[in-house]
Amino acid sequence: MMSAGASNGSGPCGACKFLRRKCVKGCIFAPYFDPDQGTAHFAAVHKVFGASNASKLLLRIPAPKRPDAVVTLSYEALARVRDPVYGCVGHIFALQQQ
């Protein structure tokens, strides 16, 4: 999920690729959404939270904590896409029933 994105000249990051926009040097999503797997993860984040809300959230979090925040956002968004009613709580309930 981590990549250098636009900073290494390898093309747009997964977020910019999904949004079909040019990935600028200071793209907030580039370090966290690679062009391959990051596109699917960002699609879920965008669907659940919105790109603007996700970028505002990341900008408010200190840089050392952003990778954990992105992992959490992606996990919760993917869980919400899989289970629109319960999201990640459905997975927690299933684990508690074991």
Domain-wise residue ranges, the chain: 5-96
The dihedrals phi and psi of 77, each to the nearest 5 degrees, come to: -65, -45
User: What number is the average pLDDT over the span 64-84?
Assistant: 95
Q: Identify the pLDDT of residue 37.
A: 86
Q: 32 with 67: CB under 8 angstroms?
A: yes
Helix (H, G, I), strand (E, B) or coil at 49: coil
Q: How many CB atoms lie within 10 A of CB 74?
A: 22
Average pLDDT of span 56-70: 96
What pLDDT does residue 11 have? Answer: 85
| Distance of alpha carbon 63 from alpha carbon 6, whole angstroms | 17
